Amino acid sequence: MQARREPGDLSEEERQQLHRAHQRLCNASHALEALTVIEPVRGRWAATPAPPDVLEAARIELHQACQELWSVQGELLGWEPPAGTTARGDQ
């Protein structure tokens, strides 16, 4: 991990790298939400729960996206993850 930097000090390529990590986390969160927050819609078919393997894959993707974001923030900005989290891919 390098010394702390300000976000304004990042190059265009570094900003894009950070944006991609944020976007991956956002997408993974939305995907898991779509599989788990199934609300009934009046006058429509009943939603069926996602199979366990699909939920597990979405959960793993969310975890990996979060780890990637912390890793990129550490690499580019020198930020440490909050206590109790790691920047590694451990599960």
Token pair belonging to 58: 């979405």
pLDDT digits 0-9 by tens, 69-84: 999 999 999 998 888 7
* pLDDT of 2 over the 70 cut: no
pLDDT digits 0-9 by tens, 51-63: 999 999 999 999 9
- DSSP for 27-77 reads HHHHHHHHHH-----TTSPPP-PPPHHHHHHHHHHHHHHHHHHHHHHHHHH
pLDDT band at 89 (very low <50, low <70, confident <90, very high): very low
pLDDT digits 0-9 by tens, 6-26: 999 999 999 999 999 999 999
Q: What is the dihedral of CA 58, 62, 67, 73, to 10 degrees?
A: 140
Residues 50/13, Cβ–Cβ less than 8 Å: no
Domain range annotation of the chain: 14-36+48-91
